[in-house]
């Protein structure tokens, strides 16, 4: 099991080398991750998961950019604890839709951070349930199933 997330490995390396107090937070710039592509690090994780011997059995991520999934990590071998900006889920039948765009606010303006409706509907015949984004915001609980899978 590998725990990943923004700056996780850099922090651990700095602490291991006695430089944990020298970690500086970068200035926040608002940047889109939509055009980002999986890096060599992402592809290395795929190799660890798919090549024999399979050293990596399960991946736990706090990232919401969807790069682990786009790199080829199977969804059933990963927990995206804070959701994925490109996935929306049917509230009724639970079907997931992976989009090539950010689901949040893509159809609705002035949307509250806690309003997860995307404005689209499930395409399964007979369902037509409302689709919701999968992002977990501050003060929201992690989905129980995702958390249970990560803890196992």
CB under 8 Å to 125, separation ≥6 — which residues? none
Tell me whether strands 59-61 and 78-80 are parallel, antiparallel or unpaired. parallel
Q: Which residue reads 């689901």 in tokens?
A: 103
Nearest-angstrom CA–CA distance, 122 and 128: 5
Helix H segments across 34-143?
40-50, 67-71
82 classed as catalytic:
yes
**Are 14 and 71 spatial neighbours (Cβ–Cβ below 8 Å)?**
no
Question: Catalytic residue numbers?
Answer: 82
């Amino acid at each position: 099991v590998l725990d990943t997330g923004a700056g996780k490995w850099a922090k651990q390396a700095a602490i291991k080398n006695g430089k944990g107090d020298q970690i500086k937070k970068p200035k926040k710039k608002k940047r889109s991750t939509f055009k980002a592509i999986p890096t060599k690090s992402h592809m290395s994780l795929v190799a660890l998961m798919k090549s024999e011997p399979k050293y990596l059995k399960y991946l736990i991520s706090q990232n919401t950019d969807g790069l682990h999934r786009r790199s080829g990590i199977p969804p059933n071998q990963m927990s995206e604890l804070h959701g994925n900006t490109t996935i929306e889920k049917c509230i009724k039948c639970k079907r997931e839709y992976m989009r090539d765009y950010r689901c949040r606010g893509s159809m609705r303006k002035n949307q509250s951070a806690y309003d997860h409706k995307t404005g689209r509907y499930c395409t399964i015949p007979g369902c037509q349930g409302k689709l919701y984004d999968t992002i977990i915001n501050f003060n929201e609980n992690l989905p129980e199933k995702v958390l249970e899978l990560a803890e196992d």
